[in-house]
Structure 1
Amino acid sequence: MADKSLNKTELVAKIAASTGQSQATVDSVLGGLFDALAESVGSGTKVSIPGWLAVERSHRAARTGRNPQTGATIEIPAGYSVKVTAGSKLKAAAK
């Protein structure tokens, strides 16, 4: 695992420095991106940025599980999760 991380504030500062835009502008654009992703994925629309990533909602079927403390069986209801797939450029950058 990587022991380094980049939080949103650091990401905004890095993007602002490389693009010459103000941090407020970059923060606003990132906020808009995240809002659009949440709205699209919430409605079941796949968002794809070719070469970089794809984000989509996936369905999980109902299943039977176990309570690890008691060993009792429990019913886990059906639900949704988010699937993020790395594109070729992102995969190449990780090598």
Structure 2
Amino acid sequence: MADKSLNRTELVAAVAAASGQSQAAVNGVVDALFSVLSTSVADGVKVSIPGWLAVERTHRAARAGRNPQTGEAIEIKASYGVKLSAGSKLKAAAKDSK
């Protein structure tokens, strides 16, 4: 598992430095990106950035389950989830890193 992490503030600062934009401008773009992403996924639209990633809403059917404390059978309602898939460029970057 990775022992390093990059939080949102550090990401915004790194993108601002790499692009020559202000951190406020980059922060606005990141906010807009996540707003569009969440709205699209909520509407059932698959968001795909070829080579990098794809994000889509998935449906989980209703199913039977068990309460682990009592062993009682319960019905788990149908629900939605989110699936993220890494693209070829992202996978290659992960393989090449040390």
List, as ranges, runs of 4+ consecutive aligned residues in structure 1 with deviation greater than 3 Å: none
For 2:85, what is the secondary structure of its paired residue?
A: strand
Q: 2:75 & 2:93 partners in 1: Cα distance?
A: 41
- Name which of structure 1's ranges 10-19 and 66-75 shifts more when overlaid on structure 2: 66-75
Question: Which residue number in structure 2 is paired with residue 40 of structure 1?
Answer: 40
Q: 2:30 & 2:94 partners in 1: Cα distance?
A: 22
TM-score by length of 1: 0.97
Question: Which residue number in structure 1 is paired with residue 25 of structure 2?
Answer: 25
For 2:70, what is the secondary structure of its paired residue?
A: coil
Q: CA deviation at 1:72?
A: 1.4
Q: 2:6 & 2:43 partners in 1: Cα distance?
A: 29
Question: Which residue number in structure 1 is paired with residue 54 of structure 2?
Answer: 54
Amino acid at match of 2:23: Q
Q: CA deviation at 1:66?
A: 1.3
The runs of 5 or more residues in structure 1 that have no matched partner are none
CA-atom RMSD in angstroms: 0.7
Q: 1:7 & 1:68 partners in 2: Cα distance?
A: 35
TM-score by length of 2: 0.94
Question: Which residue number in structure 1 is paired with residue 14 of structure 2?
Answer: 14
- Structure 1 vs Structure 2: percent identity of aligned residues? 72
Q: 1:12 & 1:50 partners in 2: Cα distance?
A: 22
Question: Which residue number in structure 2 is paired with residue 91 of structure 1?
Answer: 91
